[in-house]
Amino acid sequence: MRTVSATLVSLLITATRAMAMGGAGESEGLGLLATFFIAFGILVVLFQFIPGIMLFAGMLKGLFSAGDAKPHETVAAK
């Protein structure tokens, strides 16, 4: 029984490796649709990056120009 178990385990290990390798020697690269999908994702990130930079610059401008503003003078009512 022990020999049968050892034989089955060794066959499972080698079969798993053979199935996992599949066509590893022949790489086809990315397909056309996969390339378009990745390019679309990159474009989305880039188009969100530009408004983010503008928002960050406006925030920095607001932070550093806040110290330059004069306090409001109160006018006494007569």
Share of the chain above pLDDT 70, in %: 67
Reading the block at residue 22, the tokens are: 């599949």
The pLDDT value recorded for residue 69 is 55
DSSP, collapsed to helix, strand or coil, labels residue 51 as helix
**pLDDT surpasses 80 at 72:** no
**pLDDT surpasses 80 at 34:** yes
**pLDDT surpasses 70 at 5:** yes
**pLDDT surpasses 80 at 54:** yes
DSSP, collapsed to helix, strand or coil, labels residue 69 as coil
The structural domains of the chain, with segments of one domain joined by +, span 31-65
Cα atoms in the 13 Å half-sphere on the side-chain side of 37 = 5
Mean pLDDT of 15-44: 78
Reading the block at residue 72, the tokens are: 């409001």
- In the block, tokens 């401008």 appear at 61
Alpha-carbon distance of 74 to 76, in angstroms, equals: 6
Alpha-carbon distance of 39 to 33, in angstroms, equals: 10
The pLDDT value recorded for residue 55 is 96
The pLDDT value recorded for residue 7 is 82
Amino acid at 67: G
